[in-house]
Amino acid sequence: MKYIYGPVKSRRLGLSLGITLTPYKICSFNCVYCQLGKTINTTSERREYIPIQEIINELKLWLQNNILEAKDLNYITFSGSGEPTLNIKIDQLIAEIKKITVVPIAVITNASLLNLTVVRQALFAADLIVPSLDAAAPEIFTKIDRPKEDIKIEEIINGLIGLRKEFKGKIWLEVMLVKGINDDLGHIRKLKDIIDKINPDKIQLNSPVRTTAEENILAVDKKRLEKFKEILGEKCEII
């Protein structure tokens, strides 16, 4: 299998079959904490990086060969080795998967393109969207997520607010905290104000525990995460 991986068991998604929609490390961000390493091609260009029909063919084959395991799947998850919304035919892929299985579809995204109406609309048929928001200010955004230069945090925030208004499924917002970069108490309070406007179904606090793209990227300690969880409110959980 070139584009299908897993299933992978995780605390937040249960048993999930993964699909990658871009080649390795084609992404709109070059996050300091990425467990896959540094981005090879930082881009905001949307195109059919991997032919959708090839993914569908692989998925059909997997479902045929793993009938019992398929019954236990909680999600088919778009994530993989790059930013899935960069694939311009993501909406067609969702539609085709819905024709061949009843397993819910989750899209894990860095939210970089959600300011675009066409991208938000492309995700409407998904069941769960898990976008990221690591920063409340441009300087922190640049430091932690290292985006393609045409991507602005203000536009991402507006895109997330728009998504919540338009999308009928579930939204679980992930916040990745890195010690010394975005874990200042004042910054967390600013994030809370923004997150209140987005109004996700869940807020998932995370901190890097695996190998990261850059050295000396440190996790925020559990006690501090617990304090931030209290600030962000009852929808928040530590993952």
Distance (Å, rounded) from C-alpha 52 to C-alpha 50?
6
- Give the confidence band of 211 by pLDDT, cuts at 50, 70, 90: low
Q: What local confidence, expressed as pLDDT, does residue 213 receive?
A: 66
Six token digits for residue 211:
């190998």
Residue 132 three-state SS:
strand
As a whole number of Å, the CA-based R_g of the chain is: 17
Encode pLDDT of 134-178 as tens digits: 999 999 999 999 999 999 999 999 999 999 999 999 999 999 999
The contacts of residue 153 (CB under 8 Å, 6+ apart) are: 135, 136, 137, 138, 141
Domains in the chain, start-ordered, CATH in brackets? 4-175+210-217 (3.20.20.70)
Encode pLDDT of 8-24 as tens digits: 998 889 999 999 999 88
Six token digits for residue 168:
């009928």
| Contact between 101 and 34 (Cβ < 8 Å) | no
Q: Which residue, chain included where needed, has tokens 């299908």? A: 4
